[in-house]
Amino acid sequence: MNDIPSRRLLPVATLFPLVIAWVCLKGQQAGFYNAEFGLALFALANVIVFATLIFVVSRSLNHLDMQRSSAMQALQAAHDQLDQHVQERTLALAQANKALENSERLFRLLVNSVRDYAIFMLDTSGNIVSWNTGAEHLKGYTAQEILGQNFSRFYTPEDRAANIPQRLLQIAEREGHFVGEGWRVRKDGSRFWASIVLTAIRDEQDKLIGFSKVARNLTERMERERQLRFHASLQEAATDAVIATDMNFVIQSWNKAAEHMYGWREHEVLGKLATEILDTRFPPELPREQVLRSFHENAFWSGELTQHHKDGSAIAVLGSTVLLKDEHDTPVGIVSVNHDITSRKQAEEALRLSEERYRNLSSVLWDYACSYHYLNGSYEAQLEWVVGAFEEITGHSIEEALKNFSLGTPIHPNDQGIFRQRQEKLHSGQDDISEFRIINKRGEVRWLRSYGRPEWDATRQAVTRVYIGVQDITERKNIEVELAEERNRLRTLIDTLPDFIYIKDMQHRFLLTNIAHARARGCASPDELIGKSDFDFFPHDMAERFQDEETEIFRTGQPLLDYEQPSKGNAGGFVWALSNKVPIRNVQGELTGLVGITRDITERKQQAQALEIALKRAEEANRLKSEFLATMSHELRTPLNAIIGFSDALSNHLAGELNERQQEYMQIILNNGEHLLSIINNLLDISKIEAGQFELNNTAVNIAGLLDHVKRSLQSLADIKGLSLLTMLDEDMPTSIMGDDLRLKQIIINLVGNAIKFTQTGSVKVCIIKIDASNWAIKVTDTGIGIPPEALEFVFEQFRQVDNSSTRHYGGTGLGLAIVRQLSLLMEGSAQVQSQLNKGSTFTITLPLTKA
Amino acid sequence: MTLTRDSSSWRALIVDDKVDNLKLATLVLESRKAKVKAISESQRVFEAIAEFQPNLILLDLAMPGLNGWEIQRQLRARPDLSSVPIIALTALSMEKDIQKGIEAGFDCYVTKPYRSELLIAQLTACIGQFIDGLS
């Protein structure tokens, strides 16, 4: 408590009894207590108040005394000090003035010599009034150049436009100074990042007299800061997890990549054990102890391991761990950089699978694919990649080919042109599909079908690579060639055939035909018919008829064979056509059309008709000839009947006796009549045989009877000439055979009659001989004049006799032997003669033997 | 008069367009005591039959107008002539003619030219067969 309140309390103390008295009275009136208690209370209160007052005043008086004495002492001391101070100040002022002078000199020196800081003064409107070396260095202006110029020229045009320099001056004037950073411009126009301090300078009257400006180039610092920030962000932005732990693997830092990679946020893992969080496991061949030992020895470990994501999934990790040491080489922590190689592992697996697939694929492919790389833009190309049956096809091993294989397999000489064109096409950037032959390393000719696709370089200036797919089509080509040859042969065949050959579909349209047909339809080539139908070539009703018959074939599935019908010919004329139409089925057995062969048989028809007519005419002629023969026979016989009949009748005295001469002459008439009759009979026989009208009977013939008849018929003739007529029957001969009795008699009688005629003395012998089981013979042997050898060959010919005179000498028509031979032939036998002149002849008729 | 193998019992009607032949046949048959009527106009044959009442008829075949075939066909149709042999005496000597004649029902087929003895022998044989056939 100070003396002031104490002093003021004294006057106030007089009022206390009054206040206490009023309070006590009021309390009594209110009935809180009675008058006695009130009085006592009043007295007590006064005593307490006044005692307190006396105590406070006394303390205050003491205090005032103490203050007064100390103040007196202080006053004395101050006075002493002041004297001393005045002395010191006087000295100091002198020193200070000196120091100030020094300081200002040093300051100017300093300011001028500072290179890193541009320090210059401005007047109140910003014009430069001083310029130091640093400014010269920083801004590029010399003092002479810049003094008096406005400082705003150091600012960028953008800043100047925004009136920044003036505003900065205003801020500095108002605030005392301005501190900031910003781009500034050098004399040469280049920019630098500057930190500046702009300070207002005022005189003693606080009047603004100018500004000082200190600028510093912070470009480098900014760059460093930028780099620092970059590194920091780099760590944060690193794709690899960067984890720092202390020596006990307690996590100290955990970057964004780690968060991303493991799923744990930084705040979740800080302070926790990395080994537990990550559940790190090493590969089986690399025990944890070995890793730790290696790490401690080398302060570094790198390798693949497995860690785990927050969700428990395994992560393949390539980890690098470094031991951090302080400057005393004491280990202080561990930093791990972990790279997630799960996808790489998956990619490796995928690659492995792909390679395996590729190997398997190669082993099952019949074809191959490859790529070539063009060397220096030339046509020369180097094989760089192959898959498939390359070795099988080319005979070169892939290894060998990859080293040195520039399309080295020789192209077949005949396909060089195709191959060259293909190379040019590919080289010019076009796709190509070609087929050509190679002669492979084993010397085999292989047909290849090659698909090529060029690849441009990035600038699309040149083709750098071609991809090629090669099919070995040798087999197909061989078959194709074979088929083509076969087709060609068949084509030639059907085009050579004069018949019309065609194949029609179910709509009756021509699918194929040949030249003969095309010509018949008035077309230059078979192709012109393809797709057309009969309606394009034939009158409507005819085409309809053809179509109907084909529809029937399609309906029944049955072919139409050897069908003759009228058709239209080449020049539109009528022809006869012979058609065969056969349905065709595909491999499923479904009808797909028909194959037809039509032949123009008009000529054949005409020939047949002509033949028919000719045959009719021949038949007619034959009939006429037969009639003629019959008529002739009749007409000749009729007068002969009178001649022979009357001469015979007269000879037999039917019309009276004749004298000897008459009798003789009548006999001459009769003989000549008989001779004429035999000539006529023989002529008719020959004519009938030649006309094929001679029919043989086939009845049982008794051979003995036959011989007997001959003997009886001719015995008298033989007797007249004094010849013996002998007959001999082979005992092996069946008694009865099948044959024509009449004609057999005619043969024997002719032969025997002939023999008698040409035999003067001796005998005529008739023998029947069985030659073998199926042949028998009639032999007539005489002892007559015989036949000269030169005449033997034609004794059986008609109208031939050994000499012309013989006819006159021996008589006869010259037809007897001819008839014998003709009858023998009719009986499917033969007639031979053996003869010796003047000794005799033997005629042998050999005939087939059929027992009756 | 009944027809027998004996030619004297024959009443022979001969039809032939050739008079020479008629004369020859007449000569031969009459020389054997046969009664003969010869006509050269074939259409008169029916009249002659009615008139002459032959027991033997010899027909030439190839005749103008009514030929021997036609006459035989008509006569064979007559029951009253069933006991009269009808004989072809003709120059048609082709085998098919002979065949045709046999088939047509001629009782004998004799071809011209003939010798008298042969004719009589043939006729005798033929008539013998005919008579045997009737009995």
**pLDDT reading at A121 higher than 70:** yes
Task: Name the CA dihedral angle for B112, B113, B117, B121, rounded to a multiple of 10 degrees.
Answer: -20
Q: Which residues of B touch A684 (CB under 8 A)?
A: 94
Are residues A649 and B27, on separate chains, in Cβ contact within 8 Å?
A: yes
Contact of A303 with A297, CB cutoff 8 Å: no
Q: Which residues, including other chains, have CB under 8 Å from residue A824's CB and lie 6 or more apart?
A: A747, A830, A831, A845, A846, A847
Specify the higher pLDDT residue, A695 or A533. Answer: A533
The string of DSSP letters for B25-86 reads HHHHHHHTT-EEEEES-GGGHHHHHHHH--SEEEE-SS-SSS-HHHHHHHHHT-GGGTTS-E
* Nearest by Cα to A846 from A747, A708, A710: A747
Specify the higher pLDDT residue, A623 or A517. Answer: A517
Q: Which residues, including other chains, have CB under 8 Å from residue A220's CB and lie 6 or more apart?
A: none
Please report, for residues A275, A334, A767, A812, the alpha-carbon distance to residue A251 in angstroms, rounded to integers and kept in the order given: 9, 9, 150, 158
Q: Residue A613 burial (CB < 10 Å; 0-12/13-18/19+)?
A: exposed
Amino acid at A848: P
Are residues B92 and A633, on separate chains, in Cβ contact within 8 Å?
A: yes
Categorize the per-residue pLDDT at A1 as very low, low, confident or very high, splitting at 50, 70 and 90.
very low
Based on the fold, state whether residues A758 and A686 are members of the same structural domain.
no
* Nearest by Cα to B118 from B54, B36, B28, B10: B28
Cα Rg, chain B, nearest whole Å: 13
Q: Which residues of A touch B117 (CB under 8 A)?
A: 648, 652
Q: How far does CA A502 lie from the centroid of its chain?
A: 35
**pLDDT reading at B6 higher than 70:** yes
Amino acid at A51: A
**pLDDT reading at A808 higher than 80:** no
Q: CATH code at A738?
A: 3.30.565.10
Q: Does the residue A101 lie in any domain?
A: no
Q: How far apart are CA A649 and CA A814, in angstroms?
A: 30
Q: How far apart are CA A180 and CA A212, in angstroms?
A: 14
Q: How far apart are CA A95 and CA A440, in angstroms?
A: 112
Give me the residue label for tokens 């002539």: B81
* Nearest by Cα to A777 from A815, A747, A817, A750: A747
**pLDDT reading at A404 higher than 80:** no
Interface contact A655, partner B, CB < 8 A: yes
| Per-residue pLDDT tens digits for A222-265 | 777 777 666 666 666 667 888 888 888 899 888 888 888 889 99
Q: Can you tell me the mean pLDDT for A350-372?
A: 81
Instruction: Output the six-digit token pair for A381.
Output: 């190309």
Can you give the pLDDT at residue A333? 85
Categorize the per-residue pLDDT at B90 as very low, low, confident or very high, splitting at 50, 70 and 90.
very high
Are residues B20 and A648, on separate chains, in Cβ contact within 8 Å?
A: no
Based on the fold, state whether residues A122 and A150 are members of the same structural domain.
yes
Contact of A373 with A465, CB cutoff 8 Å: yes
Based on the fold, state whether residues A770 and A677 are members of the same structural domain.
no
Q: Quote ipTM for the complex.
A: 0.90
Based on the fold, state whether residues A581 and A617 are members of the same structural domain.
no
| Per-residue pLDDT tens digits for A779-803 | 999 999 988 888 888 888 776 655 5
Q: Which residues, including other chains, have CB under 8 Å from residue A433's CB and lie 6 or more apart?
A: A449, A450, A451, A452
Q: Can you tell me the mean pLDDT for A341-369?
A: 80
Q: How far off is chain A from B53, nearest CA to CA, in Å?
A: 26
Q: Does the residue A358 lie in any domain?
A: no
Are residues B91 and A633, on separate chains, in Cβ contact within 8 Å?
A: yes
- If one counts every other C-beta atom within 10 angstroms of the C-beta of residue A818, the result is 23
Can you give the pLDDT at residue B106? 93
- If one counts every other C-beta atom within 10 angstroms of the C-beta of residue A459, the result is 6
Among the partner-chain residues B31, B91, B117, the one whose CB lies closest to the CB of A634 is: B91
First to last CA, chain B: 17
Share of chain B above pLDDT 90, in %: 73
Please report, for residues A47, A697, A710, A753, B98, the alpha-carbon distance to residue A816 in angstroms, rounded to integers and kept in the order given: 222, 20, 16, 9, 23
Based on the fold, state whether residues A619 and A505 are members of the same structural domain.
no
Q: How far does CA B96 lie from the centroid of its chain?
A: 19
**pLDDT reading at A678 higher than 90:** no
Based on the fold, state whether residues A260 and A341 are members of the same structural domain.
yes
Contact of A310 with A262, CB cutoff 8 Å: yes
| Per-residue pLDDT tens digits for A66-80 | 888 888 888 888 888
Q: Does the residue A745 lie in any domain?
A: yes
* Nearest by Cα to A233 from A199, A257, A213: A257
Q: Which residues of B touch A695 (CB under 8 A)?
A: 95
Q: Residue A485 burial (CB < 10 Å; 0-12/13-18/19+)?
A: exposed
Strand partners, A321: A301, A336
Based on the fold, state whether residues A120 and A73 are members of the same structural domain.
no
Beta strands in A389-509 (DSSP E): 432-439, 445-456, 463-472, 500-505
| Per-residue pLDDT tens digits for A544-589 | 999 999 999 999 999 989 888 888 766 667 788 889 999 999 999 8
- If one counts every other C-beta atom within 10 angstroms of the C-beta of residue A370, the result is 20
**pLDDT reading at B74 higher than 80:** yes
Interface contact A347, partner B, CB < 8 A: no
φ, ψ (nearest 5 deg) of residue A556: -95, -20
Q: Can you tell me the mean pLDDT for A693-697?
A: 81
Can you give the pLDDT at residue A101? 77
Strand partners, A453: A467
For residues A276-303, one letter each, b for 16 or more C-beta atoms within 10 angstroms of the residue's C-beta and e for the rest, the string is: ebbebebeeeeeeeebeeebeeeeebee
Q: CA nearest A652 in B: which residue?
A: B116
Q: How far apart are CA B7 and CA B35, in angstroms?
A: 9
* Nearest by Cα to A820 from A811, A830, A810, A812: A830
- Among A600, A627, A656, give the residue marking a domain's end: A600
Q: Does the residue A490 lie in any domain?
A: no
SS3 of residue A764 by DSSP: strand
Share of chain A above pLDDT 90, in %: 20
Based on the fold, state whether residues A700 and A844 are members of the same structural domain.
yes
Q: Does the residue A147 lie in any domain?
A: yes
Are residues B93 and A633, on separate chains, in Cβ contact within 8 Å?
A: yes
Based on the fold, state whether residues A705 and A830 are members of the same structural domain.
yes
Based on the fold, state whether residues A201 and A306 are members of the same structural domain.
no
Q: How far apart are CA B119 and CA B7, in angstroms?
A: 11
Can you give the pLDDT at residue A542? 87
Q: How far off is chain B from A670, nearest CA to CA, in Å?
A: 10
| Per-residue pLDDT tens digits for B29-68 | 999 999 999 999 999 999 999 999 999 999 999 899 899 9
Contact of A321 with A303, CB cutoff 8 Å: no
Interface contact A680, partner B, CB < 8 A: no
SS3 of residue A785 by DSSP: coil
Can you give the pLDDT at residue A592? 92
Instruction: Output the six-digit token pair for A480.
Output: 């194709």
Can you give the pLDDT at residue A179? 86
Instruction: Output the six-digit token pair for A789.
Output: 């050898």
**pLDDT reading at A509 higher than 90:** yes
Give me the residue label for tokens 């401690």: A296
Are residues A646 and B28, on separate chains, in Cβ contact within 8 Å?
A: no
Contact of A454 with A463, CB cutoff 8 Å: yes
Q: Which residues, including other chains, have CB under 8 Å from residue A135's CB and lie 6 or more apart?
A: A118, A119, A120, A141, A146, A215
Can you give the pLDDT at residue A532? 92
Q: How far off is chain A from B64, nearest CA to CA, in Å?
A: 14
**pLDDT reading at A602 higher than 50:** yes
* Nearest by Cα to A214 from A124, A114, A145: A114
User: What's the helix, strand, coil split of chain B in %, to 5?
Assistant: 50, 15, 35
Q: Can you tell me the mean pLDDT for A651-661?
A: 90
Interface contact B17, partner A, CB < 8 A: no
Categorize the per-residue pLDDT at A595 as very low, low, confident or very high, splitting at 50, 70 and 90.
very high
Q: Does the residue A357 lie in any domain?
A: no
Can you give the pLDDT at residue A231? 64
Q: How far does CA A70 lie from the centroid of its chain?
A: 122
Interface contact B117, partner A, CB < 8 A: yes
**pLDDT reading at A615 higher than 50:** yes
Q: Does the residue A320 lie in any domain?
A: yes
Q: Does the residue A97 lie in any domain?
A: no
Among the partner-chain residues A630, A635, A652, the one whose CB lies closest to the CB of B94 is: A630
- Among A33, A59, A82, give the residue marking a domain's end: A82
For chain A, the average pLDDT equals 84
Q: Structural domain tally of chain A? A: 7
Domain encompassing residue A811: 695-848
Angle between helices B116-134 and B19-31 (to 10 degrees): 70
Instruction: Output the six-digit token pair for A698.
Output: 């086939």
Q: What is the SS3 assignment for A40-65?
A: HHHHHHHHHHHHHHHHHHHHHHHHHH
Q: CATH code at A515?
A: 3.30.450.20
Specify the higher pLDDT residue, A649 or A6. Answer: A649
Domains of chain B: 9-123 (3.40.50.2300)
Contact of A568 with A562, CB cutoff 8 Å: no
**Poorest-confidence range of A243-257, A656-670, B6-20?**
A243-257
Strand partners, A128: A122
Can you give the pLDDT at residue A230? 66
Angle between helices A703-721 and A741-757 (to 10 degrees): 20
Based on the fold, state whether residues A416 and A304 are members of the same structural domain.
no
Q: Can you tell me the mean pLDDT for A382-387?
A: 83
Instruction: Output the six-digit token pair for A193.
Output: 């990042």
Based on the fold, state whether residues A48 and A177 are members of the same structural domain.
no
* Nearest by Cα to A267 from A251, A283, A289: A251
Interface contact B97, partner A, CB < 8 A: yes
Q: How far apart are CA A502 and CA A529, in angstroms?
A: 10
Are residues B18 and A655, on separate chains, in Cβ contact within 8 Å?
A: no
- If one counts every other C-beta atom within 10 angstroms of the C-beta of residue A248, the result is 10
Give me the residue label for tokens 């497995």: A306
With vertex at residue B127, the alpha carbon angle to CA B122 and CA B129, rounded to the nearest 5 degrees, is 100
Q: How far off is chain B from A839, nearest CA to CA, in Å?
A: 38
